[in-house]
Structures are given as C-alpha cells and as structure tokens.
Amino acid sequence: MKTVQTECGQRERYGDFYRTWEIEPEGETSEQILDECLKRFTNPKPYRDSDDSPFPDTTEFHKRIQYGGDKWGDMAYYFRGYYTFTENDGKYVFTKVEPFAD
C-alpha cells in the first residue's frame, strides 16, 4: 500500500489536532489496511487498556465518553483521541484526531 500524509495540524485556532493519510491499496483488503494503519500511525504503549484498542473509532469513542457511558469523565481516555477510516474513489483515508489540549 502507498501512503501519503495529506494533513497534520489544527484546522482552526483552539481546535482538535488532525493527522490524515490517503492510502492507495496494492491488493490489500480494507481490514488489512486498517490494521496496518493502526500499527503505523498510532502509539498504543502509553494508552492501551486491557479492554481498549489504542485509538477507538469515532463511533465507539463518542458513545463511551457521553454522559452515562463507561468512560464518562475519564480524561486519559478522552485525550488519547480516536480515528476515522473511510473509502473514497478506490482509495482509503485514515484520520487520527487528538482533542485540543493547550
């Protein structure tokens, strides 16, 4: 797979920090590409819990941090961020988002 980083930084003042890669597959499945992205572009060691992936996807992240969720009020979980993974015209886009923390 070929990867190109297309974004690195805040989109607005006091905004979240985005790192985005565009991935062109070379015969890999979407699951293989996602696994490779999680290995390459996230750092699991400081954040890994026994029940969590290093960076949850956006749906899981927002479900767990909302009021009543099992990570409600857990700032360590919140500040590690989340990822999105989408397909766009035969290419994939992987984005890692880290909440604003200045």
pLDDT at 44 over 70: no
What local confidence, expressed as pLDDT, does residue 41 receive?
87
Residue scoring higher pLDDT (102 or 53): 102
Q: What is the pLDDT of residue 77?
A: 85
DSSP conformation letters of the chain: -EEEEEEEEESSTTPPEEEEEEEE-SS--HHHHHHHHHHHH---TTT--TT--SS-BHHHHHHHHSTTSTTTT-HHHHHH-EEEEEEETTEEEEEEEE----
pLDDT at 42: 81
pLDDT over threshold 80, residue 14: yes
| Mean pLDDT over each residue of the chain, to the nearest integer | 87
Averaged over 82-102, what is the pLDDT? 90
Range(s) of the domain holding residue 15? 2-98
Alpha-carbon distance of 26 to 66, in angstroms, equals 38
- How many folded domains does the chain comprise? 1
